[in-house]
Every structure is written in structure tokens, then in C-alpha cells.
Copies of this chain bind each other. A is one copy, B any other.
Amino acid sequence: MKRISMIDVAKAANVSQATVSRALNTPSRVSKETLEKIINIIKETNYIYNSAAADFTRQKKTLIGLIVFTLKSSIQTGLIDGIQKEIEKTNYSLIIGNSHYDPATEHRLIQEFQERQLAGIIVAESTELNRDFLRSVHKAGIHVVLTWDKNEDPVLDSVGIDNYKASSDMTNYLIGLGHRRIGFIAGMYNKIERVRHRFEGYCDALKAADIPIDHKLIISTTPSALNGKIAMAQLLSHDPDLTAVFAASDALAFGALSAIRDKKLRVPEDISICGFDDAEFSSFCSPSLTTIHVPTEEMGRCAANVIVEKIRTGKENQLKITLDTNIIIRDSCGNPPHKK
């Protein structure tokens, strides 16, 4: 049993294939009777329109690709959700690739997306290693939007937040509370630009306050509650003078809280903790977490809108959008304990 195609419908309706195509795409350009006849035949025959063939003929895909580092994070999920919500309003669909923090995988995904002739690619955090490649893809006519970080790329569009500033603001907040020995737990800042910017924000804020940077207080790890707990336990056992820790993601901060409880210390009386992201759980944990709110969903929506707009208009102007973040003060930070 062969699959029914447009030509079969045309024959059955005694019209040309062109007319069937018009009936489906621009019904206003077909007479009422013909339209009705065609619609009926389609129903009778269970004809399924082949949008893949249409894309092929039109020489343009209706797919947009998204590349993320990981899917296991509420933060990425918020972004994806936002992107999805905007994309689904259009006739585009979203195709997702996961690079697992690996530049080579990311490269492969970009190439694959290019070969699939996608209309556009949103990259949540490309490593700088692939920037040249992305620029060449962009030059070849596929729209590219970088997201997550306020980005200096001279060619590519970007939609992100100012990770550096948010991080330095938060560090200053801790300094303002009186802390001098402030630990820092973060993702892999050697690999991920936005995390590096957070790290730089932390360092520069300390420098500006004449606090020396102590590398024993800095831990880089894969962001997860478990790793946050491990990192915090390590800091606590090595550094009795520590009075505050800035965890550059809420998942890490959440795990850190658990390590502190295990040591029978109190937050914020004995030690202050703050996070970065404003994940859903952060306002419900105990104590609730002081953190930086990141508008992940809005960021996703914005990135999606930018790329759809670019695809539709074909404009070449570069767009750089930076969304605001702000410190959400809750219960996990306070003044440092008095020296014993």
C-alpha cells in the first residue's frame, strides 16, 4: 500500500497538483467549490501533507536547533522552556542537541545542524573554541544566536546576562556584610565562558576591597547538589576561618547547605551561603537562599524571538541583548560571627 501523495489527491479531485498545493497553502486563491472538493478528497483518502518535502522544495527548513551543555539543570530547563514557548507559536520546530560540555561534540552538532539545513541555531554557551566555526556557519546563511552570556563576539547575535557584574555585585554584598574570607564554588570556569565571567567578577570584587584571593578557597566542579556538598565539606574542613561561601549556582549552594548541617553549623549565624540562578527550590529550602535571579525563561523567549525574526526578515544587523539580573536577599546570608 503506497503512501498517498498530493498528486493522488489531485487526480481524485480532477484538478492539477498545483491547485491542491494552493488549496493547502493559500486557500484564498482557489475557488470555493474546488477547495471544498479537495478538502473532501483529502479526508476520504487520509492524505498526509509532507512538510519535509515542502521544506525541501522551498529550499528552507522550518527547524531551529538548540545546543546546550547539559539538560540536567533547572536552569537549562527554564531556558529551553522559554525557547520552546516562543518557537511553538511559529511554524518552526525545535531540535535539541546536548554537547555534554565537550567542544568536539558541540562541533559535531553544529555541523550536523548545518547539514540538516536548519534555519537557525541557538547556542546556549558555546565554548570559545567553536566561535570561528559558528561564524562560518553564520556566514553560510544560517542564523546563529549565542545565549547565556553578555557576549563580545563581533559578528554573532547574543542574548544573555552580565555574569561578571552579577557575580561582582553579589561578592560586594557579602563584603558589605563584613565578610573577608569568602569561598567560591563554581562550575568549570576554565571551560565555560559565563562561569569564567562569574569567577572574574568574584575575584575583581575581592581585589577592589583589598582582600587577597586565596586559591584554597576556590573550588571548580560540575554543578550539582552532590558536588556542592562535597566542595563545601572540603572547604569547611580546611578552613575554619571561612565565614561565607558564594556558590555560583543554586544547586551547588543547596548541596553546600547540607554539608553545613552535617557539621552542626548554622546558616547564616556561623556561615553565610549564597547562590546564583534563583532556582525554584531556592525559596523553599531552609534557610531560604540568597541568590541572583536569572530570567532564564525570558532569556529563552528573547533568544527565540531574535532568531525567528532574523530568519523571517533576513536582516543582517547584529543584535546584542543583555537582560537584567538582581540579587534576591533571603535568609542564608548575615554578618560574620564575632571572632572568638
Which residue of chain B is the closest to A118 with respect to CB atoms? B52
A93 touches B78 (CB 8 A): no
> How many residues on chain A are close to B (CB under 8 Å)?
53
A95 touches B97 (CB 8 A): no
Chain B neighbourhood of A257, CB < 8 A: 284, 286
Chain B neighbourhood of A51, CB < 8 A: 112, 115-117
- Is residue A208 contacting chain B, with contact meaning CB distance below 8 A? no
Cα distance, A211 to B261, chains bound together (Å): 38
Which residue of chain B is the closest to A76 with respect to CB atoms? B77
Cα distance, A253 to B81, chains bound together (Å): 23
Which residue of chain B is the closest to A137 with respect to CB atoms? B48
B94 touches A96 (CB 8 A): yes
Chain B neighbourhood of A140, CB < 8 A: 46, 48
- Is residue A220 contacting chain B, with contact meaning CB distance below 8 A? no
Cα distance, A283 to B251, chains bound together (Å): 13
Partner of A280 from B84, B225, B285 at Cβ < 8 Å:
B225
Please indicate which of the listed interface residues A50, A85, A96 has the most CB atoms of chain B within 10 Å of its own CB. Answer: A96
| A–B Cβ pairs within 8 angstroms, 18 of them | A49-B115, A50-B117, A52-B115, A52-B116, A53-B56, A53-B117, A72-B78, A74-B77, A77-B77, A80-B96, A81-B98, A93-B116, A95-B96, A96-B96, A226-B280, A251-B280, A254-B284, A285-B285
Residues of A within 8 A of B (CB): 3, 46, 48-53, 55-56, 61, 63, 70-74, 77-78, 80-81, 84-85, 88, 93-98, 112, 114-117, 140-141, 224-226, 229, 251, 254-255, 257-258, 261, 280-281, 283-286
Given contacts A93-B95, A93-B97, 17 further A-B contacts (CB under 8 A): A48-B115, A48-B140, A50-B115, A51-B116, A51-B117, A52-B61, A52-B116, A53-B56, A72-B77, A72-B81, A73-B77, A77-B77, A95-B95, A224-B280, A254-B284, A258-B284, A261-B286
